[in-house]
Structure 1
Amino acid sequence: MSQPSQPNQLIYFAAAFGAGGLLSLMVLFNGTLAAYGSLFFASWVPHLTGTVAALIFLVFLRPKRAQQARPPWWVYLGGVSGAVTVMLTSATLNSALALSGTIALGLAGQMVFSLFADMRGLFGLPQRTPVRRDYVALMFIIAGSLILIFFGSGS
């Protein structure tokens, strides 16, 4: 299998960076909803909005299914984990962690779970043993998160 060309990799990096920015906005908006309502409300509003947007997309664009086979049962758990994630980030955003601490610790949690999923080959992923570079990156992410949380605010 050949490596993607450099311009393609740049698109992937830009898309991932943009997704991170959108994630920060989503956490901010959901935290604001939680401050004016409840964690349950802050979770249902974006999920209802996403459902309506997806239905509009399906009705007007009528995309073809990639495969006729049914997906594994566990893929439907993404909605549950998404709802729990929205509630937890909405709660922590309105705490001393604020937006930057919430995002930083969320990134650290994603990295830890990703390394575990790689090691075990979870969810059909190819099994991969993390290398020293992975652990060093995790150490920097956790250290940066702790610095941001404990020393980042002026108050």
Structure 2
Amino acid sequence: MKSTLSPSWILGLLAGVVLTLMINFNSHLAKITSPLFASWTAHGIGTLTAILIIYLNSIVNKIEKEPLKKIPLWSYFGGIPGAFTVILAVIAVNTTLGLSGTLSLMLVGQIIFGIFSDLFGLFGTTKKSVNLKDFFVIFLILTGSWLIINFRT
């Protein structure tokens, strides 16, 4: 097992920071308006941002058109869990869980579903067996989440 800090680790950490910022901004907006409005706003601005990034990338990289490959229909539905993520997270952040408690429980859910997806090869993932180490990881993350939620000052 390699434990060196690679560019993919840095990208993963940055994604976590950006996710935290998104949830924090959206939870503030949801408190003032509603969770549904915050989700619509986040996805609308996200769409505009993605269009801008695609446009800038096409200028810089001169994208060549490739023939479309057969893509599974479910691959297009990433926005559905994204919308629920925003709505559920902004509701949870505005409770006693706060931002760190919500994020820690989101991590637990992601790890558990990730292991489940790996076990059954869901949504194009490579099947991987589950072992005792996986359950230990879940236990440690759950324990850390419990500590974050129950021992904050």
Provide the TM-score with structure 2 as the length reference.
Answer: 0.88
Quote the residue 2:30 is aligned against. Answer: 34
* Gapped regions of structure 2 (runs ≥ 5): none
Quote the residue 1:106 is aligned against. Answer: 106
Provide the TM-score with structure 1 as the length reference.
Answer: 0.87
Measure how far apart 1:117 and its partner are: 0.2
Structure 2 counterparts to residues 60-139 of structure 1, below 5 A = 60-62=56-58, 63-64=63-64, 68-139=68-139
* Residues 42 and 66 of structure 1, relative CA distance in 2, 3 Å threshold: farther
| Paired residue secondary structure (1:43) | helix
Distance 2:76 2:17 in 1: 25
| Paired residue secondary structure (2:78) | helix
List per-residue Cα deviations over 1:64-95 (Å, max 9, x = no partner).
46661142111122101000100000000000
Quote the residue 2:21 is aligned against. Answer: 25
* Residues 59 and 19 of structure 1, relative CA distance in 2, 3 Å threshold: closer
4+ residue runs of structure 1 moved beyond 4 angstroms?
Answer: 64-67
List per-residue Cα deviations over 1:112-155 (Å, max 9, x = no partner).
00010000011111111122222111110001101111222x2x
Aligned length: 148
Distance 2:89 2:17 in 1: 15
Taking every aligned residue pair, what percent have the same amino acid on both sides?
Answer: 34
Distance 2:98 2:24 in 1: 9
Letter in 2 for 1:142: L
Structure 2 counterparts to residues 136-151 of structure 1, below 5 A = 136-151=136-151
Distance 2:74 2:136 in 1: 31
* Gapped regions of structure 1 (runs ≥ 5): none
Q: Which is worse superposed, 128-137 or 84-93? A: 128-137
* Residues 36 and 64 of structure 1, relative CA distance in 2, 3 Å threshold: farther
Letter in 1 for 2:109: G
